[in-house]
Structure 1
């Protein structure tokens, strides 16, 4: 289930993170019926995967920036996603 709804695929990282926070807030509230909770959980998982993919892409870009044209490191820039 690697497919994302088109609306999620078009979100920026910040938009997806906010939407994920909204899903978590609603689920933690405990006022959502079971079927809706399951749908929210599925949406949350899709949003989480989208955010992770955006972070992974950013990490790759950073690694390319600190690598010279010859492929040798020209600088070190540790990446900490956590």
Structure 2
């Protein structure tokens, strides 16, 4: 099966693949060449995911601009 281009994956698919890449690299059983290919794929997936998040943020901002009673706040993420 051919690997899809990162931009053709959903955000969730890209994140799942990225997690798999991280896991395989952490195992330490890949050759240098395999590691470099996985790293390159991981960078492409991360960039694509960042673009998708930015697009979603823009859509939310546009939708919220029409709502005068709500205000957007930055996402804080998980706090440890």
* Number of corresponding residues: 74
Aligned CA distance change for structure 1 residues 12 and 49 (closer, same or farther; 3 Å): same
**TM-score, reference length from structure 1:** 0.81
Structure 1 residues 22 and 81 mapped into 2: Cα distance closer, same or farther (>3 Å)? farther
Deviation readout 1:23-65 (Å, 9 max, x if unpaired): 1001111000000000000000000001101110111011011
| Uncovered stretches (5+) of structure 2, i.e. residues with no partner | none
The answer for unaligned runs of 5 or more in structure 1 is none
For 2:16 and 2:52, the matched residues in 1 are separated by 14
Structure of higher RCO (CA pairs closer than 8 Å, 6+ residues apart): 2
TM-score (norm 2): 0.83
